[in-house]
Structure 1
Amino acid sequence: MKTSETSPASSRRRFVKQSVAAGLGFNFIPAYLTSARAADNPKLPPSRRINLGCIGVGGRAGSVIPGLTAAGNAIPVAFTDVDFVAAKGVEKNLKAFPDVKRFQDFREMLDKMGKDIDAVSVVTPDHTHFVAAISAMALGKHVYVEKPLTHTFEEAAILMRAEKKFNVVTQMGNQGHTSAGAEQFKQMLAAGIVDDIVKIDAWKSPSLWFMNAAERALVKGYPPEEPKPESLNWDLWCGPQAVKPFSKMYHPFNWRGFHLYGGGMFGDWGAHIIDFAHDNLKLGLPTRITPIALADYNQISYPLSSDIVFQFPARGEKMPAVELHCKAGGNTKIEIPEKFG
């Protein structure tokens, strides 16, 4: 299938500046539906069918899109991706839905197919979550967005307000939030088995998931330009950020480690190792943040390893002040009390 033409860089940046703030997320799975896909269920009435516009088709979307369609009432009608050839995992969704229309620019998808789309999934690098979400929401589309919700706190606050303004159903994807361990912790709190928690230790393994140590040592400035895959629209990938010369140090995976595009450990793994405790204990915002150690920190990429302590105030009965100690990379060994070993 032929990929649509893309818009010039100048129009993209002008569009970003002029975009209307909107809300995000969508709960796609009503309980009354069977496990059959909508595409295989011709008897499904139009009133119960959700037409999806999917922004981001490869990578994490290889799991998200099958999950959104598994209930049987949702079917993709449009795919958008900056690379339909070299992107990892994209072939899985293209094979499952071979007749879906394809675009490289999500704005073109919304412009040409907006009337046929009920909801939009956003599964892209962090720095483009906001622009994709608000664009869909401004058109009244329900939206599912992968974690982290946005690249900045300000963007998240705008989306929360816009959810109400546009009266849409929203959902942020975070599989760690619904894990068996998270649910068990929630039930233990409700039953009073665990209470008066005053300290939380959280850690990510020593391996640096967004680039290895040898690559990280090279990041003294922005990486030099490398030949890019012909199928990749790099300008659209950069989205609202300044366009840097293409480098494999950014794409397809290591963007997580750069300030311009990702959120480092907290943006990528904080949603899993901190979220369920933060949510169930109603921690809110910390009153103090103390960096114990930051290895090889600079203004371009996130630390090679970090050791940070967050202090949270008391929140009422059975919820005293809490210290959250989070380690990532390097020496992440946590001393576990003997009686818990």
Structure 2
Amino acid sequence: MHLPPELLLEILELCDLATLIPCAAACRLFRCHILTPAFLQRRRAAARGSFTHSSLVGVFYRHCEREARPRPPLFTTIPPGPAAAVAESPFPLVPDVFRDYTPVESRDGLLVLRSIDYYAVKHAGLCVYDPVTGRRAFLPPPEVYDLSYALRRVGDDDDGSSWFRLTAVDLRMGPMIQAQSFSPADGSWGPVIEAPNPRLCRPVVRLSPVILSDVAHWLCGDNRSVLTFHLDTMQLGRIEIPGRQHWHTFWTGQEQQLLASSPDGELSMIFGDRLVISIWVLTPGAGWTQRKRVDMGRILPAMMEPGLPFRRHRQLYFEWFGERSGAVLAQVAGLGFFAVNLQTEEVCTVGERSRDIAAFRYCPYEVDHIARLEAMQSSGVAC
């Protein structure tokens, strides 16, 4: 059965943002309608001020040895509000990729997948995958011991020559830090670059870096500094965390600290003191300043089941921060797994009990759908 074009365009007006990108790539009629400035302006106006209406946030299941059974769904979306239901995956997931590979890193709507054989051999093949479009590139294993991946989206060229950049970094506590970058245009890894290790007394807290202006940042395990690595010049550096301003840095565990980025693209740190979240921002010339405090003890009681006792001495454990959505994923011991928008202070429940979520490993993921559509428009996609 064929629908008239007028009805099809009316259906497009009602589609969610996760559906629009595949539709824009489906046919010339849809692409012409979706990429018009008027259509994009309407969708951005409708998404302004919302939690995840313009950005899709969720978690991909990550394979690990001896995981609990049955396994969770491959992808679970984080709903835009407390009452929203978990949605079906909007992505054209490729079963054969996720049968042999597991997600280990994500950024800018892309995933780094690593062969499950990693658990049997030292080096394993990689795959850079775009879940929205289904685009993928298979990479041979790097020469360095790839503990951390710095992933960047650099374009959407039709010939596939330069749509991402990937740098594998070895952050082990040795005398040297090694890095190696992959060139999609050449289809091979570049030379191994070595730099003196700046005397890390403890390894980094999280292997997933925060990337700002082509500089990767990792929070060091000594709770006193941030390790920086320029992905183009391969230069190492350190940013000190002033102890007087962040006295609680020395008294909280590593899971109560999270490196992030501000909406203005500045380096930020998120601290958890029981159920209070504080956000500090590093401003050039002004140092670290506190920007915001979010009292989860004021928000969570309204979301709890009636009759369940609430205790303010519970502790937050941070998992991940979304650069585009402004959402932080955190566990509250005994209560559950939550997504908190640090700007609007909206909270939604991802898991009923933290121990249910902790039984599995996840790779957080987000993509700004309006930004992707506008990128398609500005890149001159033929209509």
TM-score (norm 1): 0.24
Q: With a CA cutoff of 8 Å and minimum separation of 6, indicate the structure with the bigger relative contact order.
A: 1
Structure with more helix by fraction: 1
Structure with more strand by fraction: 2
